[in-house]
Amino acid sequence: MMATPARATMVLILCLLCCYAPVLSSAAAADFLKCLSAYESARVWGERYFGAANFKRLAITKGKTDPSDFFRNEQSIPPLVPRK
């Protein structure tokens, strides 16, 4: 009997959490995860997904409307706050 896709996904997630929990709890991993949403890091996937001009425009708009990045998730566009 095959597992349903949802159940198979949950089993995979549980296995990954059990195996990688010690790695993810280190200070170096936490620092790495904090900087993932920086503009320079996100630019690689953002320019491919939205186009170079659109990604920069969206990041500037996010910087004007949400400069503290309150509405943040791993897939959101990071704010690009213009320097004065």
Ordered DSSP codes for 38-83: SHHHHHHHHHHHH-HHHHHHHHHHHHHH-TT--S--TTSPPP-PPP
pTM: 0.52
Q: Which residue has the tokens 């186009």?
A: 51
Domain ranges of the chain: 1-33, 38-84
Q: Tell me: the pLDDT tens digits for 23-61?
A: 555 665 555 455 444 777 788 889 999 998 999 999 999
pLDDT at position 58 is 93
CB 80 within 8 A of CB 58: no
Structure tokens at 47: 């320019």
